[in-house]
Structure 1
Amino acid sequence: MESLGIYISVPFCKAKCTFCNFASGAFGLERMDGYVDGLVAEIAAARVRAAELKAELPGSVDTIYFGGGTPSLLEPKQLQSIFAALRREFEIAAGAEVTLECAPGQMSEATLEEAMAHGVNRVSFGVQSFVDEETAAVGRLHTAEACQAEIARVRAAGISEISLDLIAGLPRQTAQSWKRSLDAVVESGVPHASVYMLEVDEESRLGKELIAGGPRYQATAVPTDEAMTEFYARAIEQFGEAGLEQYEISNFAREGHASRHNLKYWAREPYLGLGVDAHSMLRKGDGAVRFANGDSLEDYAVGAGCEVTSVDPDEAFEEALFLGLRRNVGVRLGELEREFGSARVEDLDAPLRELVQGGLMCREGDTVRLSGRGRLISNEVFGELLRVAV
């Protein structure tokens, strides 16, 4: 049986970014103890829950990812409780990749020490920008200087697997300021970086202002879509020149430093999500089952608000196609054929030819992948393929 990846949602922040509508918030820290108790209960119930869904739950775990929110706000005793619960129910493999997301300046020395004592060996910093004016515009609390200090602190503690997140399209961002952020990532020497295009949810503060045309949250200073596309293309070029090769639409790494946990998502390997708004995918017969917890902290409880979706073979084929194409290595049609049958793959011939001729995809033998242009409009490309995939 495959090894499992575990995602743990920690929906607490010191301040909520203006563009964010994730299931997170600036709640009082006193609420975190009760939430951790809920996580411990959910971990204990995981095997029963999987059995009820008739899904396979691997007992061995080789990746754990604390995401948020700001998981680095967890207190040492809370980390102890979570890891103790995990070890009661699962075997954590030697050499497992254990990632902790962190907002710069929001992880105490005690939490860092405790995290490392339990196997945390990778830290992902939500930098978003190394330009103070841009981070301030969206409500981030850190400065570029604080980011550099945090990278140095984590390295000094013994963690070398460090990832930095940037967002292309923040209010007040320009080509010149974007280059400053890219330069800072390269100069830091980190082995991994992620670049996300700004996506503004209409229910976020910034999203409501974009609709209403108000001045408070810098909506008028958000770059155009064309500018964001140029920023993204510049990141691919500059990171590539520096040895941070793009391996997925939003992710870049030096050789051997790709996120093992995130690769599970794109390879459709099983993962278990725990906590508010956490998503899971487990094998079930010749298909899979996906389920997601509710997105309300107030209503969080084991199984509460859970949405369950069975993935039949046709849907599994679609997932294997569009998730695999997110990766730069692309998809091997022969592997798809062995798993899902030749008829489904043959149906792709015509749209693949059109997309290759249009410069949106590349084909080498039985391997197909998105081109550079195709990655810029990946959703449209996936739509063309999936329209005839089943």
Structure 2
Amino acid sequence: MESVGVYISVPFCKAKCSFCNFASDVFGAGRMEGYVARLVEEIREARVRAARMGAVLPERVDTVYFGGGTPSLLEPKMMKEIFAALRGEFVVDAGAEITLECAPGQLADATLAELLGQGLNRVSLGVQSFVDAEAAAVGRLHTLAMCLGEMERLRAAGVLDLGVDLIAGLPLQTESSWRYSIAEAVGTGSAHVSVYMLEVDGESRLGRESLAGGTRYGAGALPADEAVADWYLEACAALGSAGVMQYEISNFARQGFRSRHNVKYWRREAYVGFGLDAHSMLRMEDGVVRFQNGDELDGYMGGGVLPLLGARVEPVFVRGDEAFEEAVFLGLRMNEGVSLAGLRREFGLGLVSGLTDALVELVEAGLVGMEGERVWLTGRGRLLSNEVFERVLVAA
């Protein structure tokens, strides 16, 4: 029976990181209560919304992912309301992967207890850096001691699928401090590690300060892009040597601890998102439909039945050539790459044949590896993935 992954967007934070331009911010408890009520309403409308677009919304749920923002800030009763709504509209597998994104030190005992009772079995800690000065420079509220304490506490509670997020390229970061954070991730026994290279968004506080030539938020102490690229490659090697194997451009895991939910995105499996700026992809008879909510909180919180458009972004129907392009560039994000034979079976000979010249050029440039029917990105190709995808999509 086909399943669907569920993403729950919680756009609330205790403090806004200087590099962040996500649809999230600092709000009071009253705003959270209203948001959860709206979220519950949206979950209950899910089947009507899918039917309007001619999409198939599976009844069975095998992954639930709370992201944000900092969803761990929600009170226990709010979590209970969300799960009640989910179980009222879907059949959540007994062995479903249920993930919570959490900032160290921002998960109350009562909320953790409620989530464990609901089946929580995976936590992703937004560490970004294990070096206190680097974390503080971008507005993170935790310290190394808090991170270590949080990991110990979660394991004691039975959460063994415990991951950390790290960012290469933070203000004040150096080669040695980056190595320290990677070593801590390994040394703490993290089951999963996500490694992102900082992209300074011009709309974030850090981005605006950097463009203006200022020094606030550490804008005057950003590492060079070349150094960040080297640190990323070093992290790939160090994590792999420690048994935390890369399986996607930014994601590494010990055996058996890949994020089942995130793998859905790269394999183009069905997922549905609820909440501010949440994205969805559902199957149709002749392709897929992608749709999302808007990123303005007031628009999302508006009264009445949520419209198909308005507070939501217009849906995009992906068929034919566009579906093929998606399968190629999303599949290439994973280390296992894509199977040309599989692409031929799904999309036909013609579209795959058009890739041949581009793939030969990319192999010669050292950006893509190719053996038989399997194609994958090399280490250098992952660094230049946008350029690779652009070349592949032009050929397709």
Distance 1:58 1:254 in 2: 30
Give the equivalent residue in structure 2 for 1:32: 32
Distance 1:6 1:199 in 2: 27
Asked if the contact 1:178/1:231 (under 8 Å) is kept, the reply is: yes
Give the equivalent residue in structure 2 for 1:219: 219
Following TM superposition, by how much is the alpha carbon of 1:357 offset from its aligned partner in structure 2, in angstroms? 1.2
Give the equivalent residue in structure 2 for 1:186: 186
Asked if the contact 1:63/1:96 (under 8 Å) is kept, the reply is: yes
SS of match in other structure, 2:99: strand
Give the equivalent residue in structure 1 for 2:112: 112
Distance 1:160 1:217 in 2: 34
Give the equivalent residue in structure 2 for 1:306: 312
Distance 1:100 1:52 in 2: 30
Distance 2:387 2:181 in 1: 29
* Paired letter, 1:77: K
- Residue 353 in 1 paired to residue 353 in 2? no
The share of aligned pairs that are identical, in percent, is 61
SS of match in other structure, 1:93: strand
Asked if the contact 1:76/1:114 (under 8 Å) is kept, the reply is: yes
* Paired letter, 1:280: S
Give the equivalent residue in structure 1 for 2:95: 95
TM-score by length of 1: 0.99
SS of match in other structure, 2:300: coil
Distance 2:82 2:257 in 1: 26
Q: CA RMSD in A?
A: 0.8
Distance 2:228 2:29 in 1: 36
Deviations 1:22-78 (A, max 9, x none): 000011122100000001000000000000011010000000000010000010000
* Paired letter, 2:311: G
Give the equivalent residue in structure 2 for 1:45: 45
SS of match in other structure, 1:57: coil
Distance 1:140 1:28 in 2: 19
Distance 1:82 1:231 in 2: 40
SS of match in other structure, 2:66: strand
Distance 1:221 1:2 in 2: 49
Asked if the contact 1:359/1:374 (under 8 Å) is kept, the reply is: yes
Distance 1:119 1:71 in 2: 16
1:319 pairs, out of 326, 330, 340, with: 326
Q: Which runs of 4+ in 1 moved over 4 A?
A: none
Distance 1:374 1:248 in 2: 12
Deviations 1:117-174 (A, max 9, x none): 0011100000000000000000000001100000000000011000100000000000
Distance 1:42 1:112 in 2: 24
Unaligned runs of 5+ in 2: none
Deviations 1:230-265 (A, max 9, x none): 110111011001000000000000111100000000
Asked if the contact 1:3/1:60 (under 8 Å) is kept, the reply is: yes
Unaligned runs of 5+ in 1: none
Give the equivalent residue in structure 2 for 1:23: 23
TM-score by length of 2: 0.97
> What is the number of residues matched between the two proteins?
389
SS of match in other structure, 2:92: strand
Give the equivalent residue in structure 1 for 2:387: 380
Give the equivalent residue in structure 2 for 1:141: 141
Deviations 1:63-98 (A, max 9, x none): 000001000001000000000000000000120000
* Mapping 1:154-173, distance limit 5 Å: 154-173=154-173
Question: Which piece of structure 1 moves more, 215-224 or 47-56?
Answer: 215-224
Distance 2:10 2:208 in 1: 25
* Mapping 1:154-303, distance limit 5 Å: 154-301=154-301, 302-303=306-307
* Paired letter, 2:9: S
